[in-house]
Chain A
Amino acid sequence: MRTISTDIIIQNIKEMCIEANYKLASDVEERVRGAKLSEESILGKQILGQLSENLDIAVSDNIPICQDTGMAIIFVKIGQEVHIEGVNLEDAINEGIRQGYEEGYLRKSVVSDPLIRLNTKDNTPGIIHYEIVPGDRLELTVAPKGFGSENMSRIYMLKPSDGVNGVKQAVLETVKLAGPNACPPIVVGVGIGGSFEKSALLSKKALTRNMNQPSPKEHIRKLEEELLVEINQLGIGPGGLGGKITALGVNIETYPTHIAGLPVAINICCHVNRHVNRIL
């Protein structure tokens, strides 16, 4: 048994919320900056240039990359030999979010009830996904998610006979419908398999994966590559104003599914694809 205090968890969640909103992970940053070289549209190049400049100003002037500093999505992998000491774990995570959003000058974008819609004024609660894994470590991923792109995400319950072409069609249709709304260039997270809710969770998880680490499964890696090419042939371009660079990457996660089903979830993220990972 290894003991981890919730004080340490609060501190880390706080720092990760702030870090995620001011500095992109290197794989995402490389692709945003690199996109300008491949873009041919003049307006597209201009927009991509502004996005690079925006990343510079965020760091130099201490201003969040985007004003939508997101709802805090937290993935927690708890080693089954870890003992958590202190307050309730969920309360600790929300306390970390509360402190991070306050001390980091981040926007409070959460309402307490989806219909009554009163702002909770501290960006809590976060959305927390737990997983119990072997070992004595605690792995945290903080992924603040903006809703301009979240609103353009979709789930399809395809038939097994729809196969890989059906999956491709679903992804391309979703990207087309998102058009300029999701702040292209986008990152596309796809979850294939599982059940209705599992596919959605996989698609979110896919967004947190390093884009330079393709799927270890050969046929899925191929699908990721083909989809990126086909999405970038749509012509939506930076800002939705035309061009070659509509997406920076496509990450796919899969899970076994039922003999009758082929769930496909597409979680769209803007170019500000934020995620910070720490292992305690």
Chain B
Amino acid sequence: MDRYITTPLTIQKVEELQAGDYVYITGTIFTARDAAHQRMYESMLQGGEIPIELQDNIIYYLGPTPEREGQVIGSAGPTTSSRMDKYTPMLLEQGLKGMIGKGKRNNEVIASMVKNKAVYFAAVGGAGALLSKKIKESKVIAYDDLGTEAIRELYVEEFPVIVVVDSQGNNLYEIVMQKC
């Protein structure tokens, strides 16, 4: 079913979402992809701080193209999530409630999502121009030296995603692939 949600993504909102739901997200979300994840992970391992609050928040796996003058952001579609799998359970333990990407997650991530009550959304891969229109504000807030891989705070309006894995561990990709 179609659902409209706003961030922060509280546990109550997470529990309402079911695999297969088409969801429009409004509110603040954060971007991070490979290099930013690695840096946050290493910092957390050493007991250090990370630049974003994870509790009840959503991370979007995104490295956009540079924006032209007058544009909020360049092309802004999802990258493949599985490369973030190694780092994800630790973020979920710290309260991260949602992730937006594309493609499969491993069993450790899904087990941690069930344990910590979180949801994995897919955005449409290769629709970066379309998705950029749903992003109303964007600013780099950390790891500026990483270029496109820096952490950005975005404000999105009705950003379209599909629930692939819900907080009970139901997995839409698995359901599709079992029929293959």
Contact = CB atoms under 8 A, between A and B. Distances in A.
A46 B160 CA distance: 11
Contact of B104 (A61, A107, A181, A235): A181
A31 to B, nearest CB: 14
B74 to A, nearest CB: 6
Contact of B68 (A105, A176, A236): A105
Interface in B2-53: 22, 35
Given A180-B103, A181-B80, A241-B176, A65 B147 contact: no
A54 B160 CA distance: 13
Given A108-B147, A121-B147, A54 B162 contact: no
Contact of A67 (B68, B74, B124, B172): B74
A236 B64 contact: no
Interface string A220-238: 0000000000000011110
B79 A148 contact: yes
B109 interface: no
Contacts of B173: 179-180, 240-241
Chain A, interface size category, equals 35 or more
B104 A51 contact: no
A235 B176 contact: yes
B82 interface: yes
Contact of B76 (A47, A67, A105, A241): A67
Interface string A171-185: 000001001111100
A151 B79 CA distance: 12
Interface string B49-67: 0000000000000111111
Contact of A51 (B103, B127, B175): B127
A254 to B, nearest CB: 28
Given A50-B130, A148-B79, A241-B172, A67 B62 contact: yes
Nearest to B145: A119
A76 to B, nearest CB: 26
B15 to A, nearest CB: 22
Contacts of B102: 148, 180-181, 183, 239-240
A43 interface: yes
A54 B125 contact: no
A242 interface: yes
A62 interface: yes
B75 A236 contact: no
B88 interface: no
A234 B180 contact: yes
A145 to B, nearest CB: 13
Interface string B131-149: 0110000000000001111
Contacts of B1: none
A68 B68 contact: no
Given A107-B74, A117-B35, A50 B124 contact: yes
Given A66-B128, A241-B172, A270-B125, A236 B180 contact: yes
A63 B128 contact: yes
Interface of B: 22, 35, 62-68, 71, 74-77, 79-80, 82, 102-104, 122, 124-130, 132-133, 146-149, 160, 162, 164, 172-173, 175-177, 179-180
Chain A to chain B: the 9 pairs with minimum beta-carbon distance, closest first: A183-B125, A181-B103, A67-B75, A54-B130, A63-B129, A67-B128, A64-B75, A58-B129, A54-B127
13 contacts: A46-B22, A53-B127, A54-B130, A65-B129, A105-B66, A107-B75, A179-B104, A180-B173, A180-B176, A183-B126, A241-B176, A242-B176, A272-B126
